[in-house]
Amino acid sequence: MNQSIKPGDNPDLTEERLSGTFDTNSMAAVIYGSDKLAQRRREISEAVSRIPELQDSKPCPFMTREEKILEGSRKSAILNRLLPGLIDLDSFEETVFIHQEVIGIEGHPLALHESLFIPPIATQGTDEQQKKWLGRAQRREIIGCYAQTELGHGSNLRALETTATFDISSQEFILNSPTITSLKWWPGALGKSANWSIVIANLIVHDKNHGPHPFMVQLRDEKSHEPLPGITVGDIGPKMAFNGADNGFLGFENYRIPRENMLMRHSKVTPDGGYIRPPHAKIGYSGMVRVRSRMAAEQGLFLAHALTIAVRYSAIRRQGYLEDRSREVKVLDYQTQQHRLFPSIARAYAFIFCGFETIRLYDQLLIDVQNGNTSGMADLHALTSGLKSVVTHQTGEGIEQARMACGGHGYSMASYISEIYGVAIGGCTYEGENMVMLLQLARYLVKSIEMIQNGKSKNLGPMVAYLAANESEIDLNLGPNEYLKVFQYAARSQAWRATEKFQKLRNSGMSKEQAWNQASVELTRASRLHTRLYIMSTFINHVGSVVDQKIKKVLIDLLNVHITYEVMDIGIYVQGLLSSDQMDLIRNQLYVSLETIRPNAVSLVDSFQISDMQLRSVLGRRDGNVYENLFKWAKSCPLNDKDVLESVTKYLKPMMDKSKL
Amino acid sequence: MNQSIKPGDNPDLTEERLSGTFDTNSMAAVIYGSDKLAQRRREISEAVSRIPELQDSKPCPFMTREEKILEGSRKSAILNRLLPGLIDLDSFEETVFIHQEVIGIEGHPLALHESLFIPPIATQGTDEQQKKWLGRAQRREIIGCYAQTELGHGSNLRALETTATFDISSQEFILNSPTITSLKWWPGALGKSANWSIVIANLIVHDKNHGPHPFMVQLRDEKSHEPLPGITVGDIGPKMAFNGADNGFLGFENYRIPRENMLMRHSKVTPDGGYIRPPHAKIGYSGMVRVRSRMAAEQGLFLAHALTIAVRYSAIRRQGYLEDRSREVKVLDYQTQQHRLFPSIARAYAFIFCGFETIRLYDQLLIDVQNGNTSGMADLHALTSGLKSVVTHQTGEGIEQARMACGGHGYSMASYISEIYGVAIGGCTYEGENMVMLLQLARYLVKSIEMIQNGKSKNLGPMVAYLAANESEIDLNLGPNEYLKVFQYAARSQAWRATEKFQKLRNSGMSKEQAWNQASVELTRASRLHTRLYIMSTFINHVGSVVDQKIKKVLIDLLNVHITYEVMDIGIYVQGLLSSDQMDLIRNQLYVSLETIRPNAVSLVDSFQISDMQLRSVLGRRDGNVYENLFKWAKSCPLNDKDVLESVTKYLKPMMDKSKL
């Protein structure tokens, strides 16, 4: 049933796997959406494991930044050669998967090339521009990045300072960074690797600023790789994580590019300096929505990484005693440990289910937009804004709890969990800072409530229809959908509370902006509850659709952990609805559900099927043989190359010797 | 009033400082307990800033581990020479402060020498042993560490495996590490720097195991610094943070030490193999309690570091608009930003106040114990266990929120907040894992309730007397003490709920251990509430004792942020007590108090008086001139030493060239 058992494994882990009640390959098929996709992941892991040149030359935590970038470049170059034989090149999933398997999660010099450099050329370049650059980019004759954010400017696009001024006489744009805050800052691969970039700059024609537009800009000489004259470029320095990526800065001083380098599929500048504006103002949105729509599944998988490590390790780590004083117990048997980990397992499943659902919604939206129907854009934009925010936050919490659940060794880079945390938590900030995102969703919620107030409830989309519903009696014995009603109550009452606060402040004569600001904490709370409701609802629906009964059984157990934990967690919002007896019932139900899931805990994380190579964690090894490998890992760390360090010979030894005089 | 204003500062910061209503030096005196202590900190910072050889040779985030250890050793050696001229050597506060100022927070090779190596010699060594080693250690003729934790064994001391077997014929102890899990693991400075160690090993005499005892063990040759035969020693590899410290592993193979190397003040082994047990079993506790009693203030200061950075940067970072569309607003004007930061400022103050109070309680305890009165030990042990747990957890949350409040640049190591987080969050695990700590406090709470049940309420200590109190009407208009009553209600009802759950399970026939385990999540909740009540109560008392009226005014404002935020945060526990109108009142009061504190926000963090050197943050600079210095910092990072990296010449360039063919 559990497909991860092998001879030589730590018997404590084998015992856990034997207690599982379902087939882990079948569960993987449910997690990844199909048996085929799950199997492809296994096949790719297996194929990669047999290619020596794709293995890590040493553990990532032992590498300097320069070594990480070198390693990422080495593997990228090899993958560029081997990829056609290893994956389906048209599959985005497989492409992402193999890079994570081979290079890991700390970033690499080509990470943005596929996801942020090629798409703008493909969607915003004219046919001619695509002909000129798309093939070169796809074949990797050039390496590109995407330069938008500036040193002093993040979310507020309107405030970008970089200028591209049209010089009609030479038919060129002149790029300039007029201030220090206008330096492009943060773009991945910009620092050292890319030689081309999409640059977002304010288009200025005849002294008129038409706002930010995309330009195709060569940064470095294709022969020498030296920065071209007029270009200042470099790496922005070490970060909390992602240190295998060379995020960079970029400044322009009267740097000229031909008129044809503005991406002109939507907006255009004619040779005589005429400006043609794009058909839809919000056409640029879809790129952001695409990236955000992928974040829930991606973050869910980061959480899955951390939980795989923590749950496996908790099954082999023994500490303290219960009844039997002769042998210490597995820490996974402690209720506090289960309470730390199992609700997170449920969330990881929920996020992944919800993530793939959101990707489906995005793909549908793309088809709709191509057919001229952009009506779903606002809905999906609001949804993905909230989802990105809630999922990144809860993922971060869950990963840190997983790390701490590993005790002291969780703190060692051998656990690798702190690196996973560093990478995942970046998601709270990139692609739209979480507070800003929650407030974007809040606008949508407030608008929805205004529709209800204006008697137009019928026009509400399905995701917000509950805002107009009446309260109903809750009978918790009727199952998950009753818990959903509890969540609806919480989300609804908070959305109304926040909206009414905003409206009251408005009516008191306050400006819209100030009223919004003063209601904003309440508004963000409404957004979080709305999003958590959506996640729970998707989880319930997904479990309902599972056919395999053994799988369904354990997923229902996991769902019970989820709904009870989540309702307890938002308890303060349901005071008006549930009696204290009902709250007690839910609380007890949560503890029961933790015990129910216990025998399947290891199988549930095994089902994510993250290979040892991808996991990069000594603590999380499939075979559970942790301690001997921790020792091996430590002995091989760079500091142990010598018995006596320079710090001793140069400073400590002289200090001690002098003290002896 | 604000003493941090200088010419050339960023005008946005100066504006903030001019809006402050109190003198920051006076506030610093309140924070650090006296005008003298606050002034000493300023003087030491000032003196250090004038000594070129004590400055960082480059920013810490640019150093490898080996460089960090080298730098820490260099500075330690210099400090060993200069310290007498810089600080009062008898002041523990000044010693800690100057090390943090000069070397920083990432650890250094001598960090454990003073705090964990010397104290056991001084308290557990006989007079003769002290004579032999104490002077040598204090003069730093030798460098020591403290080796207790093992690869497979943390909190549960009874399970340690290292053995010290008395060989009567040679009058020696034979040290052995019988298994891989028995390797000593984690001790700071053990890996590379220390040549001596206190080693905790099971004392075995005549085949009888007397449990863990401390031994003085030489690890390395004092001339060559090479490990002695029979010793396996090395560094355990990189960690989430503290990478300036060489935490190590240590194994013994029939390693012999003289009988006289067992620290024998309390337990003794006589030459003929007789064993004399210590007078009190819990005598070893006081060391743990000492370290934990210091953690609240220490963690509060970590939080203060992060908030100094985030609040200052939020006052110069402008993004988005309120009414005025011509200029972006300071992000500190957003309610969401205030809600992220201000309750944490209040907590930082509360933790520091509470921390110094706890240190005073510990000092009192020491006097009592010396007078033969150990009755307060259990109380303080329980208190510090809970305090350590709650404070480290909330500090971690607060630091991460501070980092995220800085947007993208918070993620750069230039902010340094992620390093502060890594160091501070270690506190959740070291010195007793938080869950274990909360359950230790819970034992004390359950015992207290059992006393009440047995009609012995009168015997309750002052910290738990509220457990026996009756509920009373709450009139929130009467000020902070009413909020305290709310908290008492919450803590009391949860303590009773958890205790009754435990008792009910016991009465149903469950073993004590299982009943405890199944009640443990509820028990940890009781412990958290009890501790938070203590923190709030100490905060209220401390503010009440302040004389300076301007200082008192702003501290009351800060206290209002605290009490309203904390009560909202535990709202679910006070459902039975407060009406929803009362909850609304508190919520509104919180928002009002955020606005009230706004003009003093920068002055409140300036009052921590953390120098730029100690802060080590480009974002948090006193002068607010962030962007030009971010650029300077980035340009100096090691990756920018060359324009074209080896990763390009070796891999990326050949890949691109090949693609062109």
The percentage of chain A sitting over the pLDDT mark of 70, rounded to a whole number, equals 99
For the four alpha carbons of B597, B600, B602 and B605, in that order, the dihedral sign comes to: negative
- A430 vs A114, A295, A414, B522, CA distance in Å? 18, 11, 27, 37
A99-125 as b/e: b if 16+ CB within 10 A? bbbbbbbbbbbbbbbbbbbbbbbeebb
- A631 to B517: CB separation less than 8 angstroms, yes or no: no
What rounded mean pLDDT belongs to chain A? 95
A188 is in an annotated binding site: yes
Window 205-234 of A, Cβ < 8 Å to B? 222, 224-227, 234
Read off the pLDDT of residues A48-64 as tens digits, 9 standing for 90 and up.
Answer: 999 999 999 999 999 99
Q: How confident is the model at residue B290 (pLDDT cuts 50, 70, 90)?
A: confident
Q: Among B591, B627, B635, whose Cβ lies nearest the Cβ of A234?
A: B635
- B646 to A70: CB separation less than 8 angstroms, yes or no: yes
Distance from CA of B590 to the nearest CA of A (A): 11
Q: What are phi and psi of A248, to 5 degrees?
A: -130, 170
Predicted pLDDT at A292: 86
More confident call, A153 vs B592: B592
Q: Do A183 and B636 contact (CB within 8 A), yes or no?
A: no
Read off the pLDDT of residues A351-407 as tens digits, 9 standing for 90 and up.
Answer: 999 999 999 999 998 888 888 887 788 888 999 999 999 999 999 999 999 999 999
Angle at A91 between CA A89 and CA A94, to 5 degrees: 90
Distance from CA of B440 to the nearest CA of A (A): 13
Predicted pLDDT at A538: 97
Closest alpha carbon to A531 in A397, A639, A383, A370: A383
pLDDT at residue B228 greater than cutoff 80: yes
Any B CB within 8 A of A327 CB: no
Q: What are phi and psi of B620, to 5 degrees?
A: -100, 10
Read off the pLDDT of residues A534-592 as tens digits, 9 standing for 90 and up.
Answer: 999 999 999 999 999 999 999 999 999 999 999 999 999 998 899 989 999 999 999 99
B33 is in an annotated binding site: no
Predicted pLDDT at A371: 86
Q: Among A235, A428, A433, whose Cβ lies nearest the Cβ of B639?
A: A235
- B240 to A141: CB separation less than 8 angstroms, yes or no: no
What are the structure tokens assigned to B382, written together?
Answer: 């329980």
Any A CB within 8 A of B92 CB: no
Predicted pLDDT at A375: 79
The 3-state DSSP class for residue A268 equals strand
The percentage of chain B sitting over the pLDDT mark of 70, rounded to a whole number, equals 99
Distance of alpha carbon A43 from alpha carbon A41, whole angstroms: 5
Q: How confident is the model at residue B365 (pLDDT cuts 50, 70, 90)?
A: confident
Q: Name residue A660's amino acid.
A: K
Q: How confident is the model at residue A45 (pLDDT cuts 50, 70, 90)?
A: very high
Min mean pLDDT across A112-116, A273-277, A539-543, B240-244 is at A112-116
Q: Verify whether residue A482 is a known catalytic residue.
A: no
Predicted pLDDT at A280: 64
Distance from CA of B626 to the nearest CA of A (A): 10
Any A CB within 8 A of B458 CB: no
DSSP 8-class letter at A279: S
Distance of alpha carbon B251 from alpha carbon A458, whole angstroms: 73
Q: How many residues does chain B have?
A: 661
Distance from CA of B70 to the nearest CA of A (A): 4
DSSP string, A528-573: HHHHHHHHHHHHHHHHHT---HHHHHHHHHHHHHHHHHHHHHTGGG
Residue A472 CB partners (closer than 8 Å, separation 6+): A485
Q: Name residue B98's amino acid.
A: I
Kindly give the pairing relationship between strand B172-176 and strand B163-167. Answer: antiparallel
Any B CB within 8 A of A396 CB: yes
CB-CB neighbours of B620 under 10 Å: 27
Q: Please pick, among B93, B431, B471, B482, the residue that the annotation labels catalytic.
A: B431
Any B CB within 8 A of A192 CB: yes
- Chain A interface disruption, residue of B236, B433, B633, most A CBs within 10 A: B236
pLDDT at residue A284 greater than cutoff 60: no
Q: What are phi and psi of B207, to 5 degrees?
A: 65, 5
Q: Among A323, A434, A517, whose Cβ lies nearest the Cβ of B514?
A: A323
Predicted pLDDT at A175: 98
Q: How confident is the model at residue B218 (pLDDT cuts 50, 70, 90)?
A: very high
The 3-state DSSP class for residue A357 equals helix
More confident call, B363 vs A630: A630
Residue B322 CB partners (closer than 8 Å, separation 6+): A511, A513, A514, A517, B329, B333
Please state the rounded mean pLDDT for residues B227-251. 98
- B652 to A191: CB separation less than 8 angstroms, yes or no: no
Instruction: Enter the ipTM.
Output: 0.97
Please state the rounded mean pLDDT for residues A64-72. 98
Please state the rounded mean pLDDT for residues B79-106. 94
Q: Do B141 and A660 contact (CB within 8 A), yes or no?
A: yes
pLDDT at residue A282 greater than cutoff 60: no
Q: How confident is the model at residue B292 (pLDDT cuts 50, 70, 90)?
A: confident
Min mean pLDDT across A156-165, A431-440, A527-536, B272-281 is at B272-281
pLDDT at residue B484 greater than cutoff 80: yes
For the four alpha carbons of A364, A366, A369 and A375, in that order, the dihedral sign comes to: positive
- A77 to B652: CB separation less than 8 angstroms, yes or no: yes
Any B CB within 8 A of A137 CB: no
Q: Please pick, among A94, A172, A357, A431, the residue that the annotation labels catalytic.
A: A431
SS3 of B351-398: the string is HHHHHHHHHHHHHHHHHHHHCCCCCHHHHHHHHHHHHHHHHHHHHHHH
pLDDT at residue B381 greater than cutoff 70: yes
- B627 to A151: CB separation less than 8 angstroms, yes or no: yes
B640 interaction partners in chain A (CB closer than 8 Å): 191, 234-235
Q: Do B301 and B374 contact (CB within 8 A), yes or no?
A: no
Predicted pLDDT at B282: 57
Q: How confident is the model at residue B156 (pLDDT cuts 50, 70, 90)?
A: confident
- B77 to A404: CB separation less than 8 angstroms, yes or no: no
Q: Do B94 and B44 contact (CB within 8 A), yes or no?
A: yes
- B323 to A514: CB separation less than 8 angstroms, yes or no: yes
Q: Among A70, A322, A633, whose Cβ lies nearest the Cβ of B517?
A: A322
Predicted pLDDT at B518: 98
Q: Name residue B212's amino acid.
A: P
Predicted pLDDT at A556: 98
Q: Among A403, A630, A639, whose Cβ lies nearest the Cβ of B192?
A: A639
Please state the rounded mean pLDDT for residues A316-326. 91
B74 interaction partners in chain A (CB closer than 8 Å): 647, 650-651
What are the structural domains of chain B? Answer: 143-279 (2.40.110.10)
pLDDT at residue A504 greater than cutoff 90: yes
Distance from CA of A398 to the nearest CA of B (A): 13
What rounded mean pLDDT belongs to chain B? 95
Please state the rounded mean pLDDT for residues A130-157. 93
Window 494-533 of A, Cβ < 8 Å to B? 511, 513-514, 517-518, 520-521, 524
Any B CB within 8 A of A575 CB: yes
Q: Do B413 and A65 contact (CB within 8 A), yes or no?
A: no
B627 interaction partners in chain A (CB closer than 8 Å): 151-152, 180-181
Distance of alpha carbon A180 from alpha carbon A199, whole angstroms: 17
Any A CB within 8 A of B414 CB: yes
pLDDT at residue B284 greater than cutoff 70: no
- Chain A interface disruption, residue of B54, B69, B336, most A CBs within 10 A: B336
Read off the pLDDT of residues B535-582 as tens digits, 9 standing for 90 and up.
Answer: 999 999 999 999 999 999 999 999 999 999 999 999 999 988 999 899
Q: How confident is the model at residue A661 (pLDDT cuts 50, 70, 90)?
A: confident
Read off the pLDDT of residues B599-621 as tens digits, 9 standing for 90 and up.
Answer: 999 999 999 999 999 999 999 99
Read off the pLDDT of residues B428-483 as tens digits, 9 standing for 90 and up.
Answer: 999 999 999 999 999 999 999 999 999 999 999 888 999 999 888 888 888 899 99
Distance from CA of B65 to the nearest CA of A (A): 8
pLDDT at residue A177 greater than cutoff 60: yes
pLDDT at residue B279 greater than cutoff 80: no
- Terminal alpha carbon distance of chain B: 70
Closest alpha carbon to B529 in B587, B461, B593, B466: B466
- B336 to A155: CB separation less than 8 angstroms, yes or no: no
Please state the rounded mean pLDDT for residues A28-54. 97
Window 593-612 of A, Cβ < 8 Å to B? none
Please state the rounded mean pLDDT for residues B13-29. 98
